Amino acid sequence: MIKSVLTAVCKKILFILLISSLVVTSSFVSFSLSINNQVDATVVVTEDTPKWIQEIAVFFTQTGELELPFKPYNWMTRGEFIRLALKIYPTEVPEDLIKLEEQARKYDLLLKEPFNPGEFISREEAVTLTLRVANRRILAKLMKLSEADKLLSIFQDINNIDVTTYKSLAVAVKEGIVTGYPDKTLKPKAILTQAEVWALFYRIRGPITFLHFNDSHGRLEPFVPGTGLPAIGGFGRLLTLIKSERTVNPTQTLLFDLGDTLHGTNLVNLFNGKPVIESLNRFGITAATLGNHDFNYGQKPLLNNMMEANYPFLLSNVVYETNRLPLANPYMILDVMGQKIGIFGLITSELPIVTHPDNVKGLLVLDPIDTARRMVTLLREHKVSSIVLLSHLGYSEDVKLAERVDGINLILGGHSHTILEKPALVKSTLIAQAGEHTRNLGRVDMVIRKNQIVHSSGKLIPTVNGIAVDSVVTDLLKPYVDAVKIQMDRVIGSSTVLLDGGRPQIRSRETNLGNLVADVMRITTRSDIALQNGGGIRASIPAGPMKVDHVFTVLPFDNYLVVLELTGAMIKEALELSVSRFPAELGGFLQVSGLSFVFDSRLAVNSRVIEITFAGKPLEMTKTYRVATNDFLAVGGDGYTVFTKGKLVVHTGEFLRDSFIKYMEEVKTVSPVIEGRITVRP
């Protein structure tokens, strides 16, 4: 009888529990987050819980730091706070209260005596202790009282702040850890709820935001990306986006430039990259790495630019040959709210090939993968919590590196101009890259715990036309924009004769301008021979003073000057193609220097060239010659596939027109004539 009554009671209790649990459950909502299939956390909180509490609850459940059940509106005691602070640190969290007090003393987390673990914690105490967890205590010590007064003067209840926490609150305001209430109060004595304490911790242990851009190639001003399209990009728009993104995560946002920034447009080339550094000094850049094009002005201007920058350049695989000292800082260790991040830079091993040899004279480029392994070991010895690589290797090389080198959490990349809409995960390394030419600002949010990514997200934010151009950049660039106009009018020399670049002539016969351009190519590169396609020369230059603008009109293409090793037979094959359409015009008709040749247009195509003379003797078919040309022809442009069979010995990394300008500035006056380099029979 008793047994049956008990059973009935138990069943009733179970029924009530079930019903009540259903009622309770129906007023709760659950949130799931799954990122890159790494983490899947589900948190249950009441439906009317504000969104910010929901987000914080989900976040800290993912990181494993928030233990359920979460009671956001409960007051937090000092003992509970210390437990959480030790967990966030992270370090051992003792269950025993005596040991907890000892541990709190050890980590300097006791603000008041006695300990009183059951007492509720106030905002000023919690903020002060949170700063200590974030390794920010020194900032409070160093802060002058006058600065603290100024920072806190905007709050009406400044007089309520305890003298022992005064400067800590000022630092917290300065660093964006606390912002105050809309009524301009801080409420320093207010007791904090669990949700409010977690919100404080979110400011120091939430996701770290990495903003990044790469390969801007001197696009400081907005540019038109295609016919009829509105202007996009430019540093002004980039800065607007950076300022906006920083407001999202004010305490833990970093900004990186991944190289190839200093060179690429008249606005920067004419001033050796100076406008770039002056602009970026206003951006609050955390660090940058160097790209191959950043060496284009030579080592001295590069070092000057690095000296002028108010941010460090990190590069770990370029050293001086003589003493093996690094060209730039190999790495840095950054303290982000108490989390140590190791950051190092790498550049492509092709650097000696893709820039003029003089630009890298005396420098040694070390293998990126070997260097990366060494840097990871070194940074781990410094007990960093995460490692970030600033890479100018290119995306496919970044993927290889992530596959072969363990321990790098994030690669922010450049060089291949790859548009990664979202970061790619390769093994346990995230890779991000933001395209080119300031078209996008990249953003990666990442949370690392115990050297592992526990949360990540990322996106590209395009610098579309609708985004305002920050006037800081516009104002700063104005003198340079004006100076460019003056530069374009600058006289670089003169010609005593008309320089003939007329379309019919330059594409079918020898002209004096064709000879001059080819001579500049040959002389500048110390080559035996130079070959330039007539289609790359677009106008004539009148006799008299020669301005920079003339050269830009004549040589408008961004063609690089390169040197190939070709055999005499290969050169003959190229000359045959050059005259194959004669007397019709051909964009690929070659203007030459260092040799002369005779062709008979009556003969069959590919056997028209009957005589080639080099240094007063017939060109030897089996001998190898150094031939200067442009990168367009070198890769087979205009049908010159024969060039791709040669050997690339120099890639100057310099535009042909820049070489031409330098040459004119040196020789001052030219008087080129038609001298029989190309003779047609009959």
Chain residues that interact with other proteins, rule: CB under 8 A: 215, 217, 225-227, 229, 292, 348, 350, 353-354, 394-397, 415-421, 424, 435-437, 562, 565, 631-632, 634-638, 641, 644-649, 651
Residue with tokens 């914690």: 121
Residue 78 or 217 with smaller CB distance to other proteins: 217
- CB of 390 vs other proteins, minimal distance in Å: 16
Dihedrals φ, ψ of 185, to 5°?
-125, 160
Residue 440 or 596 with smaller CB distance to other proteins: 440
Contact 516, 496 (CB under 8 A): no
What's at 501, amino acid-wise? G
Residue 185 or 349 with smaller CB distance to other proteins: 349
Residue 292 or 495 with smaller CB distance to other proteins: 292
Cα dihedral 311, 400, 435, 236, rounded to 10, equals -10
Residue 214 or 591 with smaller CB distance to other proteins: 214
CA distance 143 to 136: 11
- CB of 632 vs other proteins, minimal distance in Å: 6
- CB of 656 vs other proteins, minimal distance in Å: 15
Distances (CA, A) of 160 to 113, 140, 157, 163: 20, 18, 6, 9
- CB of 454 vs other proteins, minimal distance in Å: 25
CA distance 262 to 289: 11
Residue 75 or 223 with smaller CB distance to other proteins: 223
CA geometry: angle at 170 spanning 165 and 176, to 5°?
Answer: 125
- CB of 498 vs other proteins, minimal distance in Å: 32
- CB of 562 vs other proteins, minimal distance in Å: 8
CA distance 70 to 12: 29
CA distance 257 to 84: 36
Q: How many residues does the chain have?
A: 682
For CA atoms 457, 462, 466, 472, the dihedral sign is: positive
- CB of 566 vs other proteins, minimal distance in Å: 10
Long-range CB contacts (< 8 A, 24+ apart) of 481-484? 481/221, 481/267, 483/270, 483/271, 484/266, 484/267, 484/270
For 448, residues 6+ apart whose C-beta sits below 8 A from its C-beta are 208, 339, 385, 386, 409, 454
- CB of 646 vs other proteins, minimal distance in Å: 7
Question: Would residue 556 be called left, alpha or beta, if left means φ above 0 and alpha means ψ between -120 and 50 degrees?
Answer: alpha
Contact 249, 445 (CB under 8 A): yes
How does strand 386-392 pair with strand 318-320? unpaired
Residue 311 or 625 with smaller CB distance to other proteins: 625
> Widest CA span of the chain, in angstroms?
130
Residue 185's SS3 state is coil
Residue 194 or 652 with smaller CB distance to other proteins: 652
Look up residue 195 and give its two tokens: 């949700």
CA distance 197 to 73: 11
- CB of 670 vs other proteins, minimal distance in Å: 31
For 150, residues 6+ apart whose C-beta sits below 8 A from its C-beta are none
CA distance 526 to 271: 26
Residue 42 or 396 with smaller CB distance to other proteins: 396
- CB of 607 vs other proteins, minimal distance in Å: 25
Residue 386 or 440 with smaller CB distance to other proteins: 440
- CB of 586 vs other proteins, minimal distance in Å: 14
- CB of 637 vs other proteins, minimal distance in Å: 5
CA distance 228 to 3: 88
Residue 392 or 608 with smaller CB distance to other proteins: 392
For 111, residues 6+ apart whose C-beta sits below 8 A from its C-beta are 125, 128, 129, 164, 165
Residue 528 or 631 with smaller CB distance to other proteins: 631
- CB of 391 vs other proteins, minimal distance in Å: 12
Residue 188 or 368 with smaller CB distance to other proteins: 368
Helices 512-525 and 656-667: crossing angle in degrees, nearest 10, is 90
Look up residue 572 and give its two tokens: 């003959």
